[in-house]
Amino acid sequence: MRGTTVSYDSINFKARALGDRSAGHAGKDANAPAGAPNIRHLNETRRALLTEIDNAKFSWFHVKVAFVSGAGFFTDAYDIFAINIVSVMLGYLYGTGIDSNFSDLPHRSLTTSQEVGIKIATPAGVLFGQLLFGWLADVLGRKRIYGMELMLIIVATFGQTLCAPGIGISMIGILTFWRFMMGIGIGGDYPISAVISSEFSSVYIRGRVMTAVFANQGWGQLCATLFSFIIVSTYKRSFIHDDAPGVLRALDQIWRLIIGLGCIPGAIALYFRLTIPETPRFTIDIERNIRQAGRDLSVLLVESETYTVDPDAVGKRVIARQATRDDFRSYFSRWANLKILIGTAYSWFALDIAFYGLGLNSSTILSAIGFGSPKKGLAPGAAVYQNLHNASLGNIILSMAGLVPGYWATFIFIDRWGRKPIQFMGFAVLTVLFLIMGFAYDRMNATSGGRAAFVVLYCFANFFQNFGPNTTTFIIPGEVFPTRYRATAHGISAASGKFGAVVAQLAFQWLKDVGGPNKFLDHILEIFAFFMFTGILSTLLIPETNQKTLEMLSNESQDDFIQPVPASDYASSGYLSEFEPTPIRLHPLESPGSPSRPPTAFSARGRRKGTSVSSHGERFASMSDLSVNS
């Protein structure tokens, strides 16, 4: 911890958490060291504001947070999983045998290295983005960088649609680059959206708000397959009746349309992300500006709470915990904190081994079991159409039957059962399902009834991934760490998951054809079962976060969060001597008749940063403000 020059001024704040108790602490603490601020009162003020957040009723603002954060996850999932069907089209256009006769078109595909490059580029970018933006969100603030990741996603997605082959450059290489850049933006969305939805939510609805945000991943994955199905069906006439150049032209247009549509939801959400206020917890604990946190908090409260500022203030110095290398090592060197980070990181790693192993290769698995394979004897264009049509339809079934319902089952139970039981249950059920699918793969693939049973088990696996660890591994890291490391630790946990996704893609593409085409799929499913079992063990390291405040979960004492600088340090010649307390005068309240500023998208009653609102006839309790002048 290091010294910081701060000022605190009296503000009028009508808040249930304070009541008359705060008024009793409005004066200076008689026991405070000479020259130190009323530390007890500042800690009371901080706790009161945090109590307001934790007890806030569900409001329209929570809906806005879920929508704005969720729109990003819709875009993320759409862009990630659209490659599932697009990679098949890219194989027809740029894969092996492109110089062969048109009659060989249905048998063309990307090489193993091309398929690996296309499918791991995004997870690799996501891994880097999660670490980078998670750290930046703790250093610069959530608001300051929220929206930058969405801009990167939009630009990179649009860049993919403009890719074209050339004599001196590889089409797949260009596409891989843009998908890596898109992945960086997608990675940034994970920690920032998680901590924003967590820090703005009250204790009683936090799990549901965060689940509602993350559930948009299911809608995005569904829409990727649904739009693929619709667009492919729209081009049916071209596939059946056009000549070879017409069929290839149709394929080229289809994949660009599917990818390009991913820009739309991101563009819609961009404005709202740029205008969202900073989370009160970051403002209080990192910026140490209680007055501004009170203003930002006002948009959360459904009553007409009003904040007014006393025009006089006195400069003071306090010590508060800050994010430094030494503090980071000190915090995570304690086993009670380190084991939680290990638990969240490994649980996400284990989950993504199977989640992305299946999700990015569902078309390959469906084709391997003969689900919806095209009829023999069809013309090349008609065979390509039926293969794409059936693959899209199969993925729609998987999404509707398993992926989307799983998220909303979690939504219903997350604040009743808790996070840990749902994660434990999900890993346990997935272990059993993958064991059955792996050891009985050959027997189920031998008959039509067995193949149908395999698809049913596949749907159950998707369901219990989302009604299980896929949702909880996103929620828990956004709750269990202190504010100054919340986004960083969430980024580390999420990056561990994407490392698992990269490993899964590499292993899947290189192992699936061992012993013959798709002959190793049964063993891959058995490997998935092993990692699900290890996820059960890592869940034991994670605490239950249900109905607990974020401060309680941080494993840090909140009573002395703000501490005074010892009086002897004021006169010392050490590092604190460079700070000189300076009187500060805040601007007085605007008169009732002065013109108001236009509201932002996130201002519940038209209040913006820097604007005070007075209310007549209200009864107020007195609070102190703490703001930083570094």
Helix 486-511 × helix 112-139 angle, to 10°: 180
Q: What is the mean pLDDT of residues 600-606?
A: 44
Considering only the C-alpha atoms of the chain, give the largest distance between any 2 of them, rounded to a whole number of Å: 93
> How does 243-271 read in b/e, with b if 16+ C-beta sit within 10 Å?
eeeebbebbbebbbbbbebbbebbbebbe
Q: Looking at residue 179, what is its pLDDT? A: 95
The pair of three-digit structure tokens given for residue 93, joined into one six-digit string: 């256009």
Q: Looking at residue 519, what is its pLDDT? A: 85
Count of Cβ atoms closer than 10 Å to residue 9 Cβ: 20
Q: 611 falls in which pLDDT band (50, 70, 90)?
A: very low
Distance, in Å, from the CA atom of 235 to the CA atom of 252, rounded to the nearest integer, reads: 11
All structural domains of the chain with their residue ranges = 51-287+320-545
Q: How far is CA 65 from the centre of its chain?
A: 13
Residue 57 has pLDDT above 90, yes or no: no
3-state secondary structure 524-553: HHHHHHHHHHHHHHHHCCCCCCCCCCHHHH
User: Bigger pLDDT: 422 or 365?
Assistant: 422
Q: Looking at residue 13, what is its pLDDT? A: 39
Q: Looking at residue 17, what is its pLDDT? A: 39
Q: What is the mean pLDDT of residues 4-16?
A: 38
**Is-contact 462 402, C-beta < 8 A?**
yes
Percentage, residues of the chain above pLDDT 70 = 77
Count of Cβ atoms closer than 10 Å to residue 329 Cβ: 9
- For 225-234, 235-244, 579-588, which range has the lowest pLDDT when averaged over its residues? 579-588
Q: How far is CA 127 from the centre of its chain?
A: 12
pLDDT digits (tens, 9 = 90+) for 516-556: 888 889 999 999 999 999 999 999 999 999 999 999 999 88
Instruction: Determine whether 517 is exposed, middle or buried from the number of CB atoms within 10 Å of its CB (0-12, 13-18, 19+).
Output: exposed
Residue 33 has pLDDT above 70, yes or no: no
pLDDT digits (tens, 9 = 90+) for 66-94: 998 999 899 999 998 898 889 989 999 98
Q: What is the mean pLDDT of residues 592-614?
A: 43
Count of Cβ atoms closer than 10 Å to residue 103 Cβ: 11
Percentage, residues of the chain above pLDDT 90 = 46
Q: What is the mean pLDDT of residues 101-107?
A: 79
Q: Are strands 562-564 and 307-320 parallel, antiparallel or unpaired?
A: antiparallel
**Is-contact 83 362, C-beta < 8 A?**
no
pLDDT digits (tens, 9 = 90+) for 450-474: 888 998 999 999 999 999 999 999 9
Residue carrying the six token digits 């820097």: 610
pLDDT digits (tens, 9 = 90+) for 258-313: 999 999 988 988 988 888 888 888 888 888 777 777 676 766 664 434 333 333 33
Among candidates 226, 594, 185, 538, which has minimal Cα distance to 396?
226
Q: What is the mean pLDDT of residues 582-611?
A: 44
User: Bigger pLDDT: 286 or 320?
Assistant: 286
Tell me the three state secondary structure of residue 29. coil
Distance, in Å, from the CA atom of 456 to the CA atom of 450, rounded to the nearest integer, reads: 10
Q: For domain 51-287+320-545, which architecture applies?
A: Up-down Bundle (1.20)
Q: 568 falls in which pLDDT band (50, 70, 90)?
A: low
Distance, in Å, from the CA atom of 440 to the CA atom of 280, rounded to the nearest integer, reads: 53
